[in-house]
């Protein structure tokens, strides 16, 4: 593993440690590139404030902190400044405008943690469901987000915790995988889900991804410095998923900087 583009900071309220600790861990592990991609702020209307992401007023300081890491460590490792963001249709134009006002974001990765627009209907994707309508909504919303062309890859594509008919799951996730392949957007095999006992990564999803020959990368989804890169985790997930399902593993995704803003 040469690079990890999925790294958080304390600003999301559920990650720990300083930026330099993540960088030092990446260097000691032999990574060539570390991308910070904390949970993106959103210009939510009214009084709604998320507790699992940075606030809009924190964005300039986040960008400056990553820029400082580039200045301090740039001769030892490549460092990139990104955000992990959902696709919220009602807010996406305002979200991009917010980024234009705080230049420095180099890439976006799509992590659909909530459905709809979050502030209007609070429906976490990790909530267990047997409702095909929820599954279809997740796939529709993710594909629409990918089609914007703004995201470099799709984080934990199997985060939707559907526990209904396996044939229904395969059909809808087949739609997602075919769309990602057609758009040339990689799917992330997420180590945070594995280490935290979440419902993902799911073998039934990755079986579909293998059949569709999707591009796949490994993301550590580090919320603590020690998880920035752990060779044992990578070896375990490679054995359990990459080799098992014949996944087309890539190291470095195309960073979709052109046209981001």
How do residues 34-60 score in pLDDT, each as one tens digit?
999 999 999 999 999 999 999 999 999
pLDDT digits (tens, 9 = 90+) for 114-159: 999 999 999 999 999 999 999 999 999 999 999 999 999 999 999 9
pTM: 0.96
What region does 149 belong to: left with phi over 0, alpha with psi -120 to 50, or beta? left
Q: Which pLDDT belongs to residue 10?
A: 97
Is the pLDDT score of 259 beyond 60?
no
Using pLDDT thresholds of 50, 70 and 90, give the confidence band for residue 254. Answer: confident
Domain contains 91: yes
Is the pLDDT score of 167 beyond 60?
yes
Nearest to 182 by CA among 141, 213, 139: 213
Q: Do residues 135 and 172 make contact, with C-beta atoms less than 8 angstroms apart? A: yes
Domain contains 121: yes
Domain contains 201: yes
> How many folded domains does the chain comprise?
1
7 token code pair: 């790294």
Average pLDDT over residues 57-78: 98
Is the pLDDT score of 62 beyond 90?
yes
123 token code pair: 């429906």
Average pLDDT over residues 94-102: 94
Residues 152-190, buried b or exposed e (16+ Cβ, 10 A)?
bbbbbbbbbbbeeeeeebbebbebbbebbbeeebbbbbb
Domain contains 79: yes
Domain contains 259: no
Residue 193 to residues 19, 77, 171: CA-CA distances in angstroms?
A: 22, 26, 23
CATH for 156? 3.20.20.140
- What is the domain range of residue 219? 3-249
Domain contains 258: no
**Angle, helix 203-211 to helix 166-183, in steps of 10 degrees:** 50
Is the pLDDT score of 175 beyond 60?
yes
pLDDT digits (tens, 9 = 90+) for 180-237: 999 999 999 999 998 998 999 999 999 999 999 999 999 999 999 999 999 999 999 9
Q: Which pLDDT belongs to residue 252?
A: 87
Domain contains 254: no
Is the pLDDT score of 86 beyond 70?
yes
Q: Which pLDDT belongs to residue 7?
A: 98
């Amino acid at each position: 593993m040469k690079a990890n583009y999925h790294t958080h900071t304390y600003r999301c309220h559920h990650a720990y440690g300083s930026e330099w600790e993540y960088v030092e861990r990446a260097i000691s592990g032999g990574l060539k590139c570390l991308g910070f991609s904390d949970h993106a702020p959103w210009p939510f209307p009214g009084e709604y404030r998320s507790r699992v992401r940075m606030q809009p007023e924190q964005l300039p300081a986040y960008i400056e902190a990553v820029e400082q890491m580039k200045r301090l460590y740039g001769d030892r490792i490549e460092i990139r400044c990104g955000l992990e963001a959902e696709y919220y249709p009602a807010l996406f134009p305002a979200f991009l405008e917010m980024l234009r006002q705080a230049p420095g974001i180099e890439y976006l990765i799509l992590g659909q943690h909530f459905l709809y627009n979050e502030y209007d209907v609070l429906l976490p994707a990790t909530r267990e469901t047997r409702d095909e309508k929820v599954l279809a909504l997740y796939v529709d919303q993710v594909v629409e987000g990918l089609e914007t062309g703004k995201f470099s890859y799709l984080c934990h594509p199997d985060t939707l915790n559907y526990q209904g008919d396996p044939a229904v799951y395969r059909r809808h996730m087949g739609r997602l995988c075919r769309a990602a392949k057609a758009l040339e957007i990689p799917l992330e095999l997420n180590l945070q889900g594995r280490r935290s006992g979440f419902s993902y990564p799911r073998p039934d999803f990755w079986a579909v991804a293998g059949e569709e020959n999707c591009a796949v990368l490994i993301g550590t989804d580090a919320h603590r410095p020690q998880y920035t890169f752990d060779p044992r985790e990578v070896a375990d997930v490679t054995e359990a998923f990459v080799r098992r399902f014949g996944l087309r593993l890539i190291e470095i995704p195309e960073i979709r900087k052109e046209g981001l803003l």
